[in-house]
Structure 1
């Protein structure tokens, strides 16, 4: 009996003690579960914060990307305007060199053709014109001249009041520069003649013109810093200016050097000699159209 009583009171077989142990284990398990749940909640919150930060960063990147795209589009528009402006004041080859290197190397070619087109009695006419009308008339003619010479590969140098100056062959000395210039001059003269047949937007009649062409060596380059200007120089230019002054109204006058390059043409008739400053007498010819 004594042995049996000891067995019944042994801790191993004590139900109350086992229950207490189980309760302690359960309590610890509950604490660990609570800790794990807290850790999981904290982890989820951390993940949500990270995700929110990532989404916010992504939205900021997209916003910046849209801003950069807009700025780039604006830059491209400004670049196109700048390119167009450069091409409007100097030959395309010169403009490209200026954009690429920041400068333009002076050039000299031994044979190019220069043309001056001067409006007749321009100073007298402008005295009667309102400034708005004057600019409108000049734009009417010069815009057409620009289109005409472009179709013949001729480059505008500049306009000085009533003088429209252009050159062919100044960049790469093409052999057909004289013929192309003569074709451009013919187109300009025909436009002026046709303009006289059409009523103008102003109360004044259309203008008359003189055209003079000369061929020879020219030097070219870009001068200025804040306001760039493309120009050509040399006796060839001076002689062309003298030839246009000797031209009759609404006609095309050529120098001997241009006539030689153009070749024999029944439409070209000798007129005689004119004196060119620093050169002497120059034979001139009329191109009849």
Structure 2
């Protein structure tokens, strides 16, 4: 029976090869159209979810499409909801399918050109059709079904080709690629599926070894020249597959590394801009509790007034831009005087010295307060709006720390903080009021005015004293 089938195939080889070739080309056209349909559907779905996508609706040139084609092919079946491990598994599936499709298509074309390969032509034509079906299933997000069909197809193809042509074609080396399947195509938690895949591949290997003993030289008898050509072709294809997989995952790993490095740098920049350097280091080191105690610190509370009248006649973006300008100026003054920003809530601004930087500088906080008052007055003149500043300063013990996990916030507590807030509440427009504790540390370098009798132990900061000349005058 087997001999009669061989004779029939040999006699009708041109017709059979032509039929298989035509069917393969038609299937390839069907696969391209199907994949294009799924790609268009995925793009439409993505644009519906993100109408502001910059690439939506833009005509793409043929060169851009050509450059994007490999990326689209390797990303088939991947959606914006896919996790990292699922993306790796999907791309591995696509890479192996494309390798199998390329190999089978090469041998279908070879069967049309060279006589004596009709059995391989039929086998590779069937493999090509099944590979396209797997690819279309994957593109339509039937990932589990496509994955197991691909495992059966790859293992069966390897086993049948080994049985058909024997072990002289280099087909046995494709076992290397098969061994990569369970490693790359399954996620870490899919232990059962990975084990089952390895058992299936082991089964294919045992079946091939058993059948190889029965048909030691293969079912087809090939000439020496054909065997050499086939061996070289299979060796080249295997090298290309392994090189492609290693190159892809190497480049992917490097891109992921640099992306992670850039994200870490952006996160560090954000943390450094929000928190003082000492606090930022503790947050990066994931300290369980970020807290400190200062027996001597200077705290300043600032409240800006005049924005309430703008809510009804300005848009939100205009108002935020206006507020941002003055608070950016405050940040610049903090940097200039070496004072530490604590937090910002609405129009209330809190800063301090001596909490994280060791010894406090009472004079630096006082200079910052005076410069901030001048900045608000200048800002009012530039915008022709009536903005005023009320500030309160106090000195003493302070407890500080970071509270919250999802949105951590730096804050300070203690009687010194409450006293500074009380001084700010007692201040009038464009004045800085200091407590008795702060006054005792600043009176030698700054001029003050006493508050009204209704407020005890509070002083208005006026200006910094000018140093005396050698003759006793002032500069």
Q: TM-score band, normalised by the shorter chain? A: 0.7 to 0.9
1:1-289 aligned within 5 A: 42=227, 46=231, 49-124=234-309, 126=311, 129-175=314-360, 177-198=361-382, 200=383, 205-265=385-445, 267-272=446-451, 281-288=456-463
Distance 2:276 2:323 in 1: 21
Distance 1:45 1:123, change over 3 A: same
Decide whether the 8 Å contact of 1:106 with 1:219 is kept in 2.
yes
1:149-206, CA deviations, whole angstroms, 9 ceiling, x for partnerless residues?
123222222222221111111114324x2122122223322221221221x3xxx615
SS at match of 1:268: strand
CA change 1:206–1:96 in 2 (3 A) is farther
Which structure's residues are more often strand, by fraction?
1
**Cα deviation per residue 1:13-61 (whole Å; 9 max; x = unaligned)?**
xxxxxxxxxxxxxxxxxxxxxxxxx779756754653354234322322
Question: Higher mean Cα deviation, 156-165 or 228-237?
Answer: 156-165
SS at match of 2:416: helix
Give secondary structure in 2 for the equivalent of 1:101: coil
Q: Report the Cα offset of residue 274 of structure 1.
A: 7.7
Equivalent residues of 1:116, 1:244 under 8 A apart: yes
Whether contact under 8 Å (2:299, 2:351) holds in the other structure is yes
Q: What TM-score, normalized to structure 2?
A: 0.46
Cα gap change, 1:116/1:54 in structure 2, threshold over 3 Å: closer, same or farther?
Answer: same
Query: Do the aligned residues in 1 keep the contact of 2:389 with 2:429 (CA within 8 Å)?
Result: yes
Query: Relative to 1, partners in 2 of residues 1:83 and 1:206: Cα closer, same or farther, differing over 3 Å?
Result: farther
Paired residues of 1:274 and 1:282 also in contact (CA < 8 A): no
For 1:162 and 1:251, locate their aligned partners in 2 and report how far apart those are by CA, in whole Å. 16
Is the Cα contact below 8 Å between 2:448 and 2:460 reproduced in 1?
Answer: yes
The superposition leaves residues 227-286 of structure 1 with CA deviations (integer Å, 9 ceiling, x where unpaired) of 211100011111111112222322322222223333512x4213147889xxxx433232
Q: Distance in 2 between matches of 1:110 and 1:158?
A: 20
Gaps of 5+ in 2: 1-222, 465-475
TM-score when normalising by structure 1: 0.72
